[in-house]
């Protein structure tokens, strides 16, 4: 029961930090004529890294296989949406290397979490058999 509570807490905290990182990215890449530097990109990637670490710890603490399937489905959907958004932006005039550096971590994070949860399902299936 304690693992479920700590897993839920880490997951909710990870979602909160992920939403904060996304809002920071929206402010940086908005139409406001503000030139962002590498420090903003590094800060954004650091916040996203903290969110990813929290999601990883929450995934490791999950004990039910069905919950992992739900997490995989959720992050697969997020991956498809962010990848399609990323690919449609490549023809835009604002799509530069710095914009790609700000957007690409949001595409790669769900993929990493899908692969991790898939690995955990396979690993624990072999342990229980």
pLDDT greater than 70 at residue 97 = yes
pLDDT digits (tens, 9 = 90+) for 15-52: 999 999 988 888 877 766 566 667 777 888 899 999 99
> DSSP character for 127?
H
Most confident range, picked from 19-28, 106-115, 120-129: 106-115
The pLDDT value recorded for residue 39 is 76
Question: How confident is the model over 5-20, as a mean pLDDT?
Answer: 89
Q: What is the dihedral of CA 115, 120, 122, 128, to 10 degrees?
A: -170
Which residues have C-beta within 8 Å of that of residue 25, sequence separation ≥ 6?
44, 102, 103, 106
Question: How confident is the model over 75-80, as a mean pLDDT?
Answer: 92
The pLDDT value recorded for residue 105 is 87
Q: How far apart are the C-alpha atoms of 20 and 51, rounded to whole Å? A: 10
Question: Model-level pTM?
Answer: 0.81
Where do the domains of the chain lie? 2-128
């Amino acid at each position: 029961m304690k693992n479920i509570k700590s897993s839920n807490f880490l997951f909710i905290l990870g979602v909160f930090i992920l939403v904060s990182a996304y809002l920071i990215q929206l402010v940086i890449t908005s139409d406001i004529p503000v030139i962002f530097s590498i420090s903003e990109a590094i800060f954004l990637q650091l916040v996203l890294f903290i969110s990813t670490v929290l999601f990883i710890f929450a995934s490791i603490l999950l004990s039910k296989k069905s919950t992992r399937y739900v997490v995989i489905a959720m992050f697969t959907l997020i991956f498809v949406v962010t990848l399609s958004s990323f690919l449609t932006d490549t023809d835009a005039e604002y799509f530069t290397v710095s914009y790609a550096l700000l957007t690409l971590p949001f595409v790669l994070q769900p993929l990493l979490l899908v692969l991790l949860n898939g690995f955990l399902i396979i690993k624990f299936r072999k342990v229980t058999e």
